[in-house]
C-alpha cells in the first residue's frame, strides 16, 4: 500500500513536471532546460526570479500550477517521511519487545 502511494505521487510529480516543461517551452518560447528549471523551481517554491512568465496566459496558469504542484510535492514528501516513520516505529517496537522479554519471563516464575 505504501509503495503504491509513493509510486503514485512520483508519477504525479513526473507528469506535472513534464506538463510544466512542455507548457512553458511552447508558450514562453523557453528552451526545454529553462522550462524544466522554471517548473521545478516553481514546484519546490524556490523561485529565484531569473525566469518569469511574460505572456498573460502563463501569468494566469502559473499560480494554479504552483498551488497544485506544491500540493503534490507535499504529498510526496509526506508519503516518503511516513514510510520512514513507520519503519522506525516497527524498529522501536522490536527493541521494546526484546528488552521486555527477560522481564516477562522473570514475572512468570
- The pLDDT tens digits of the residues spanning 10-34 come to 899 999 999 999 999 999 999 999 9
Check if the beta carbon of residue 95 is closer than 8 Å to that of residue 88. Answer: no
Q: What is the pLDDT of residues 36-67, one digit of tens each?
A: 999 999 998 888 889 999 999 999 999 999 99
Burial (CB count <10 Å: 0-12, 13-18, 19+), residue 16: buried
Helix ranges (DSSP H) in the chain: 2-28, 32-43, 56-108
Question: What pLDDT score does 103 carry?
Answer: 72
Domains of the chain: 2-108 (1.10.287.70)
Is residue 109 over pLDDT 80?
no
Q: What is the pLDDT of residues 66-94, one digit of tens each?
A: 999 999 989 989 988 988 998 999 999 99
Amino acid at each position: 500500500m505504501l509503495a503504491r502511494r509513493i509510486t503514485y505521487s512520483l508519477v504525479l510529480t513526473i507528469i506535472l513536471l513534464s506538463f510544466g516543461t512542455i507548457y512553458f517551452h511552447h508558450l514562453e518560447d523557453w528552451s526545454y532546460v529553462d522550462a524544466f528549471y522554471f517548473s521545478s523551481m516553481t514546484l519546490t517554491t524556490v523561485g529565484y526570479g531569473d525566469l518569469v512568465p511574460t505572456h498573460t496566459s502563463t501569468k494566469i496558469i502559473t499560480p494554479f500550477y504552483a498551488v497544485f504542484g506544491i500540493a503534490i510535492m507535499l504529498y510526496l514528501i509526506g508519503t516518503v517521511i511516513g514510510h520512514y516513520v513507520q519503519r522506525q516505529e516497527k524498529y522501536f517496537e522490536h527493541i521494546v519487545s526484546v528488552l521486555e522479554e527477560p522481564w516477562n519471563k522473570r514475572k512468570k516464575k
